[in-house]
C-alpha cells in the first residue's frame, strides 16, 4: 500500500536545479536509503517531505493521511527540559497537557495543595477528551523500550543518548513514515547496532540518508539515487545498486559520446554548407539549434575528488613505544599496565564507546599527556597531521578558499605552487563554490574543506578522528584508498565499520577498566574475539552455577523474606546533587574546549597547552564517572521503591 507520493517535484536555488521534476512513491514497510553526492539535495528532499521546505512546482502527498515524522538532526543538548517533556512535545496540544500533567504529578508528591489538585483534575479532563491516556501509555512504553529515564534532563545526556531521545520523540507519533538524516553520526558502534535493530523492528516505512555502508546493507530494501536533479530507484540491496548504477553511467557516457559526435558533424556541415551550396536546409539548421540547446542543458557527472596526502620525509622506524603504562583520572582507569609499540607504516584503529579514553591515548602517544607510571619512548622526525572535526575550525563567514589557503592566492603542495582555486578543484569545489562562505556548505562539503586544509600539511603520522561523518560514499571510498596507500603511520578513530575494515591493519579495542586489547584486523575480527570471549564466559558461569545451586536457593529464600531497604539519606542527597555537578563539569569542558579549538592554541609552548589538555582529560573521565554514578543511584532508587 502506498503511503506517500511525490509528483513532478521541482526546486532550484539560483540557477542550480536541485529537483528537476522528480517522482517517487513510497510503500508501507519499505526501508529506503537516499544516496547522492554532497550538495545533491538529499537533506533538502527530506525537509520537503516533512513540509519545512516549499517546492517551486509539483506536489508531495501523504496518502490516506499517513503520518510523517522526521528525526531532528540536532536535539536541544542544552535544554533543561526532561526527557519526558521533550518526547511529549512531539504530540502537539495533547502533548503539552501530558507534559504539564507529568510535572504536576511530581509536585504533588511533596506539595498536596488544593490549587495543584484542581489543576490536575482539569488536565485529566483535557487528556481524557483528547483520548490522551493512550498516548501517555505509548510514551511510557517507548521510553521503556529505548531504556530512557523520563526525568533526566536533556542537558545531562551524551550525544548518543540525545539521538535516542530524538528517536523516541519521532516514534511517539506512531509515524507511517520515519525520515532519518545521517542517524549514525557521532554514535559509537554499540549505539549504531542498537539503532539498526530498532529500525529493523519498526513497523512503518523508513527513508534515511547515510554514508555508513554496513548500516545501509543491513537496513535498505531499496536504494533511491539523487543525481544532478533526477531521482532513480534501484530495488534490492546496496551492492546490487552499485552494479546497476555503474551500468547506467556507462550507458549515459555512450549516449553522450554519440550525441557529441552528431553535434560535431552538424557544426562542420553548417560551416561548410554556405560555401559549398550557398543554400542550407532550414530544417537541418533548426535541428542543429535544438542540439545546441540540449547540449547546454546537459549537466555533466561531477568528477571524483583527487585526494592525496602531502607526505613529509620518513619518520624513524619506531614511532612510539610504551610499557607498563597506567593512567587514571578521578578514580577512573584509562590505562592499566598497557603496552604498545607503533612502527612506521602501522595503521591502528581505536575502537570503543564514547568517553572511554581514545582521545586521551592519542595525547599520550603524541607526548601531550603524562602517564601515572610506565616507560615511554617517542620516535624521531615525526610530522603530525591531525584531523578532528570537533577541534578543526573553519570560519563560517569566510569562503572555502580563504579558510583553506589562509587568505593566500597560492599554496604549496608536494613541492609545487598551485593556485588555491586549482587545488580546491581536486576536492570537488568549483571556482564558484570555492568563493562560497563556509556557512552555506553542507556537512559533507565542510568535511571536504577540512580535509583540503589538512592535506596541505606535510606529514608522516596521520591522525584521523571520525573523518567519515557526512562524506558522500564516493569521497569516502577515495579517502579509504588514500589511507591504505599512505606510506606513513595512521592512528584512526572511527565507528564506521567498513571504513575500519578497509583501512586498519589492527585494532585497539577499549574494553573498560583500563583494559585495551590489540586485535589484528578490523571489526570482523573484533566480532570473532567477542564471540569467543562470550562463549568462554558462559562456560565458566555454567560451572559456577552448578556448584552454587544449593547455596543460591538458600540465599534466595532468606532474601525473599527480607524487606527492601530505602535509599539512605546520604545516598539520596548525593543523587540530588549530581545533576548540578554534571552541569558544572560540562560547562567547564565547553569553555576549555573553546580555548583549545582556537587555531593558534597548538602553536603555544607545551608548558601553556599541557595543563589545559590535562584538565580536559580529567573532565572527560570525571563526567563519565558522574554519569555512571547517577545511573547507579537511579537504579538503586527504583529498586527500593
Residue positions forming the annotated binding site: 36-43, 352-359
- CB-based burial, 227-252: b 16+ in 10 Å, e otherwise: bbbebeebeebbeebeebbeeeeeee
Determine what percent of the chain falls in helix, strand and coil, rounding each to the nearest 5.
Answer: 50, 20, 30
Give the C-alpha separation, 283 to 18, whole Å. Answer: 34
Torsion from C-alpha of 257, 259, 262, 267, nearest 10 degrees: -100
3 state SS of 134: helix
Alpha-carbon torsion, ordered 201, 203, 204, 205, to 10 deg: 50
Question: How far apart (Å, rounded) are the C-alpha atoms in residues 160 and 191?
Answer: 7
State how far the Cα of 479 lies from the Cα of 481, in Å rounded to an integer: 5
| Tally of CB atoms within 10 A around 616 | 19
Q: By the 8 A CB rule, do 63 and 27 touch?
A: no
Using a 10 angstrom Cβ sphere, with 0-12 exposed, 13-18 middle and 19 or more buried, the burial of residue 444 is buried
Q: Which pairing describes strands 16-27 and 177-181: parallel, antiparallel, or unpaired?
A: unpaired
- Nearest Cα residue to 382 out of 319, 427, 425: 319
- Rounded to whole angstroms, the Cα distance separating 305 from 500 reads 20
- Give one DSSP letter per residue of 606-639, joined into a string: HHHHHHHHHHHHHHHHHHHHHHHHHHHHHHHHHH
Annotated binding-site residues for ATP read 36-43, 352-359
Neighbour count for residue 525 (Cβ, 10 Å):
16
Could you tell me the CA-to-CA distances from 554 to 522, 541, 547, 558, 564 in Å, in that order? 46, 19, 13, 6, 18
Residue 494: Cβ-neighbour burial (10 angstroms; 0-12, 13-18, 19+):
buried
Amino acid at each position: 500500500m502506498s503511503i506517500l507520493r511525490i509528483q513532478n517535484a521541482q526546486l532550484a536555488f539560483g540557477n542550480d536545479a536541485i529537483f528537476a521534476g522528480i517522482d517517487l512513491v513510497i510503500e508501507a514497510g519499505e526501508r529506503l536509503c537516499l544516496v547522492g553526492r554532497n550538495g545533491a539535495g538529499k537533506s533538502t528532499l527530506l525537509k520537503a517531505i516533512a513540509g519545512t521546505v516549499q517546492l517551486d512546482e509539483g506536489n508531495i502527498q501523504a496518502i490516506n493521511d499517513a503520518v510523517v515524522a522526521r528525526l531532528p538532526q540536532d536535539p536541544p543538548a542544552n535544554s533543561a527540559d526532561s526527557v519526558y517533556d521533550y518526547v511529549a512535545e512531539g504530540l502537539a496540544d495533547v502533548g503539552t497537557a501530558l507534559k504539564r500533567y507529568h510535572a504536576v504529578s511530581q509536585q504533588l508528591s511533596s506539595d498536596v495543595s488544593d490549587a495543584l489538585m484542581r489543576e490536575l483534575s482539569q488536565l485529566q479532563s483535557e487528556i481524557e477528551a483528547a483520548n490522551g491516556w493512550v498516548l501517555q501509555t505509548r510514551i511510557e512504553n517507548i521510553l521503556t523500550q529505548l531504556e530512557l529515564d523520563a526525568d533526566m534532563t536533556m542537558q545531562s545526556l551524551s550525544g548518543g543518548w540525545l539521538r535516542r531521545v530524538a528517536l523516541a520523540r519521532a516514534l511517539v507519533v506512531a509515524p507511517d513514515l520515519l525520515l532519518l538524516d545521517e542517524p549514525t553520526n557521532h554514535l559509537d558502534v554499540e549505539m549504531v547496532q542498537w539503532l539498526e535493530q530498532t529500525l529493523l523492528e519498526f513497523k512503518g516505512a523508513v527513508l534515511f540518508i547515510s554514508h555508513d555502508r554496513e548500516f545501509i546493507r543491513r537496513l535498505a530494501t531499496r536504494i533511491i539515487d539523487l543525481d544532478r536533479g533526477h531521482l532513480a530507484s534501484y530495488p534490492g540491496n546496496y551492492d546490487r545498486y552499485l552494479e546497476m548504477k555503474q551500468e547506467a553511467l556507462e550507458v549515459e557516457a555512450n549516449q553522450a559520446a554519440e550525441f557529441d559526435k552528431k553535434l560535431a558533424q552538424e557544426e562542420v556541415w553548417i560551416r561548410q554548407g554556405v560555401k559549398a551550396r550557398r543554400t542550407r536546409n532550414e530544417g537541418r539548421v533548426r535541428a542543429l539549434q535544438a542540439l545546441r540547446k540540449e547540449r547546454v542543458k546537459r549537466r555533466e557527472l561531477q568528477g571524483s575528488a583527487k585526494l592525496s596526502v602531502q607526505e613529509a620525509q620518513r619518520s624513524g622506524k619506531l614511532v612510539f613505544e610504551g610499557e607498563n603504562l597506567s593512567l587514571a583520572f578521578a578514580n577512573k582507569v584509562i590505562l592499566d599496565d598497557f603496552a604498545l609499540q607503533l612502527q612506521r607504516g602501522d595503521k591502528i584503529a581505536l575502537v570503543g564507546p564514547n568517553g572511554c579514553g581514545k582521545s586521551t591515548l592519542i595525547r599520550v602517544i603524541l607526548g601531550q599527556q603524562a602517564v601515572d607510571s610506565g616507560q615511554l619512548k617517542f620516535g624521531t622526525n615525526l610530522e603530525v597531521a591531525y584531523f578532528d572535526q570537533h577541534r578543526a575550525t573553519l570560519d563560517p563567514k569566510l569562503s572555502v578558499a580563504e579558510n583553506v589557503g589562509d587568505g593566500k592566492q597560492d599554496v604549496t603542495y608536494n613541492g609545487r605552487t598551485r593556485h588555491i582555486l586549482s587545488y580546491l578543484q581536486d576536492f570537488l569545489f568549483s571556482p564558484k563554490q570555492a568563493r562560497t562562505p563556509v556557512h552555506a556548505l553542507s556537512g559533507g562539503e565542510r568535511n571536504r574543506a577540512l580535509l583540503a586544509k589538512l592535506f596541505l600539511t606535510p606529514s608522516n603520522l596521520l591522525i584521523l578522528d571520525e573523518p567519515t561523518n557526512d562524506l558522500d560514499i564516493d569521497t569516502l571510498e577515495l579517502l579509504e584508498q588514500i589511507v591504505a596507500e599512505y606510506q606513513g603511520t595512521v592512528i584512526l578513530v572511527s565507528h564506521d565499520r567498513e571504513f575500519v575494515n578497509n583501512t586498519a591493519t589492527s585494532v585497539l579495542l577499549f574494553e573498560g577498566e583500563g583494559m585495551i586489547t590489540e586485535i589484528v584486523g578490523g571489526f570482523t575480527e573484533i566480532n570473532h574475539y567477542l564471540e569467543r570471549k562470550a562463549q568462554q564466559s558462559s562456560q565458566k558461569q555454567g560451572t559456577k552455577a552448578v556448584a552454587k545451586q544449593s547455596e543460591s536457593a538458600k540465599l534466595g529464600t532468606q532474601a525473599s523474606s527480607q524487606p527492601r531497604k530505602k535509599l539512605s539519606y546520604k545516598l539520596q542527597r548525593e543523587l540530588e546533587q549530581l545533576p548540578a555537578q554534571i552541569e558544572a563539569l560540562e560547562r567547564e569542558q565547553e569553555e576549555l574546549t573553546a580555548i583549545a579549538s582556537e587555531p593558534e592554541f597548538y602553536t603555544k609552548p607545551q608548558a601553556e597547552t599541557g595543563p589545559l589538555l590535562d584538565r580536559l582529560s580529567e573532565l572527560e573521565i570525571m563526567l563519565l564517572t558522574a554519569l555512571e554514578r547517577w545511573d547507579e543511584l537511579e537504579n538503586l532508587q527504583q529498586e527500593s521503591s
